[in-house]
Structure 1
């Protein structure tokens, strides 16, 4: 397993639409293992493959709280089948938009179909944090960041700050 570099906004690769995965094989499992290790090291609770520069429809997630046993989840080619009309607001952050957090409104529940780590087809009803996190990560697969759900003014302000931070971190 290897820790990969996480791409940060405003990198144009984050706007790419990810391609479906042909099959879950050992090569893809290595990618998922690397993604999970990268996510844990960041630290974060979810990561889409595009965030490490791989435009494939793959998501890893672990919503276990500190001190709990890890509960890694793998979603390959996920698709949302249904969403609730009820909405929920959660404060979201993103490893590709470091140090920024904002409230985002999304459907409170969703039903998702995906391939798991072994390539088996699964369906799952998601609510609360799982529903929010899954929708957030699935947005990445479509080239959408959580800041795209915010007002234009807030989004532009965050992107300017991120660009300034990047410039400051780059060696002269």
Structure 2
């Protein structure tokens, strides 16, 4: 249980070193998005990459070549989906959630909170972290595609052009 053989330890060290180097090279080749702030799709790929790396390291049933093939496959699929979603909005809508306003003009959007399984307390906390103590001074709180909350004070909303793709923004979809 505590120790079986030096061969297994040496295998983990060698395969770990080579796998780690291969994963770093692969992530550099596929671009910054693979490790950027994650939407649900990117998160799934990242978890799958970690799980695959752990399997390569610890399972003697999986050869290094098989593991490396799995890593390349996952990273390649993520890259293909990222490129396709950047070019075609229909694909993007399949793999990425749309941002949604949880506060509009200082008013909590309770239907959106419920739909997105958030509480008023979580939104109020996000507002407080920006240094604001008054909901009336908040023009919008947006639940972004990566799960973060963007808080925009009323005096910073401007024309709202950065909010055009937000699902329930009053000016969404305008030309």
TM range, normalised to the smaller chain? Answer: under 0.3
* TM-score (norm: length of structure 2): 0.24
Which has the larger helix fraction?
2
Q: Which of the pair has the greater relative contact order for Cα pairs under 8 Å at 6+ separation? A: 1
Larger Rg: 2
